[in-house]
């Protein structure tokens, strides 16, 4: 009987195992994860911490028992320490007891995910300092909030997760300061669109410090020496009873690299469209793997839950003897920050410049629904198009409720390689509860007409 071994759970690993079972009902499938749970909705963690999701069990997608019913063996608290591609063996260790064993495989899927980037500053070990990557992280933060009732939080990093956690802490009545070493919040968006978000945050009494580095995390004077109380930056001393380090992630690729697996963009595992690595019968998927940007054609590292699930399915299908491929992504992302919604897809201006692409931009301001309709709010839409030719390159949206999911129109068009001229007269749905008669998407696209 052929044996498929999957290293890692959550999104890519569990998707690979489940898909492999559907492809080959007789395949032996073993999944090893160092966590105590195998499948949960990590993207829901900010809302679990905020209290919008009441119980831990609501985040659990599939249990060990459910996988067992599918004939998939799940081994919790088991960390892969070594891959021997010559003998086709994986050495795993029980993280609780230290016992080791070797497991043979015919096909291997590496889905080891990513780890938070930790700024190299003293004080990271203090109580009250957290990262947010796993369900255990979320449980630890929620428990700390309940037991310690901190009143002031500092978030280091202003990407999607960092700003989603602004909402979580704000809803719990805490004062929040965001420190970002880049010149703007949301570094993957253009500065003019990010400025709208920063202005909104400051209007909601969130302190935002950009172009500023954290130097140290320290206890407060006269307080417990093992608990954080102060964040020292280049220009400020920020009181804080809770600190969240949210400065991005890096791929967990060291295990694969030691086995001879080639790495690519950002040090992630290089894969082709079949999720194959350079080693025979070894696949990789999810936040540890690269992908291709469909607009630029470049190899990129863009870890997202949607990508992890799709790549996992492809890796599992091929590892089980099927045939599947994953062409790539267009870099779509979305987040809610209090009442503000943000989204982006494709390339931003910085990326276009780095690639040497000549482009034009148009930005419009409109309403989410007609001004006379209840709930109408502002929406800003920015579109980038290649010049000449008009090929759609990217789009960004910042606005109130009902704004951000409009990004899917642009993501679809980018996936199909459309030009703005093909989209001017798109027959988008209209009714007052959903959109103005001319949707903001069309207004932004039509702003390019005079160059046609």
348 is catalytic: no
Q: Which two tokens stand for residue 339?
A: 């009442």
Give the Cα-Cα-Cα angle 341, 132, 61 (nearest 5 degrees).
80
In Å, how far from its chain's centre is CA 343?
13
Helix (H, G, I), strand (E, B) or coil at 85: coil
CA-CA distance, 140 to 419, in Å (whole number)?
Answer: 47
- What lies within 8 Å, CB to CB, of 69 at 6+ separation is none
CA-CA distance, 372 to 388, in Å (whole number)?
Answer: 39
Torsion angles phi and psi, residue 400, rounded to 5: -85, -175
Burial (CB count <10 Å: 0-12, 13-18, 19+), residue 26: exposed
CA-CA distance, 27 to 162, in Å (whole number)?
Answer: 41
Q: Which of 43, 288, 348, 352 is catalytic?
A: 43
In 368-433, DSSP assigns E strands to: 378-386, 392-399
First to last CA, the chain: 61
Q: Which two tokens stand for residue 7?
A: 């290293």
CA-CA distance, 308 to 319, in Å (whole number)?
Answer: 16
Catalytic positions, written as ranges: 43
């Amino acid at each position: 009987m052929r044996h498929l071994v999957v290293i890692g759970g959550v999104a890519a690993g569990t998707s690979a195992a489940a898909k492999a079972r559907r492809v080959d009902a007789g395949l032996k499938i073993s999944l090893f994860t160092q966590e105590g749970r195998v499948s949960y909705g990590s993207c829901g963690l900010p809302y679990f911490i905020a209290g919008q999701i009441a119980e831990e069990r609501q985040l659990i997608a599939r249990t060990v028992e459910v996988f067992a019913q599918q004939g998939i063996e799940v081994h919790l608290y088991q960390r892969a320490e070594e891959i021997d591609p010559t003998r086709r063996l994986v050495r795993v260790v029980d993280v609780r007891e230290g016992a080791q064993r070797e497991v043979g495989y015919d096909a291997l899927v590496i889905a080891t995910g990513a780890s938070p980037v930790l700024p190299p500053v003293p004080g990271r070990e203090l109580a009250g300092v957290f990262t947010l990557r796993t369900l255990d992280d979320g449980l630890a933060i929620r428990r700390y909030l309940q037991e310690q009732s901190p009143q002031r939080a500092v978030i280091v990093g202003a990407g999607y997760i960092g700003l989603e956690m602004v909402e979580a802490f704000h809803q719990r009545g805490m004062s929040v300061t965001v420190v970002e070493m880049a010149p703007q919040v949301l570094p993957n968006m253009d500065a003019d669109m990010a400025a709208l978000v920063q202005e909104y945050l400051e209007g909601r009494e969130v302190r935002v410090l950009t172009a500023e580095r954290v130097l140290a995390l320290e206890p407060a004077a006269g307080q417990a020496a093992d608990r954080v109380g102060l964040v020292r930056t280049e220009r400020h001393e920020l009181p804080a009873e809770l600190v969240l380090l949210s400065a991005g992630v890096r791929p967990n690729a060291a295990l694969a690299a030691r086995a001879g697996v080639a790495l690519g963009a950002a040090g992630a595992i290089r894969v082709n469209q079949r999720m194959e690595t350079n080693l025979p019968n070894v696949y990789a998927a999810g936040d540890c793997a690269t992908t291709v940007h469909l607009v630029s054609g470049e190899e990129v590292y863009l870890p997202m839950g949607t990508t992890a699930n799709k790549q996992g399915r492809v890796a599992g299908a091929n590892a089980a003897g099927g045939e599947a491929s994953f062409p790539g992504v267009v870099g779509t992302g979305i987040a809610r920050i209090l009442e503000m919604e943000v989204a982006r897809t494709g390339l931003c201006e910085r990326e276009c410049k780095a690639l040497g692409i000549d482009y034009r931009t148009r930005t419009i301001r409109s309403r989410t629904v007609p001004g006379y309709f209840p709930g109408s709010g502002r929406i800003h839409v920015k579109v980038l198009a290649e010049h000449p030719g008009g090929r759609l390159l990217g789009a960004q949206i910042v606005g109130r409720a009902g704004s951000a999911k409009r990004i899917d129109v642009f993501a679809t068009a980018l996936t199909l390689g459309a030009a703005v001229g093909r989209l001017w007269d798109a027959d988008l749905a209209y009714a007052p509860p959903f959109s103005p008669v001319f949707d903001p998407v069309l207004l932004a696209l039509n702003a390019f007409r005079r160059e046609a």
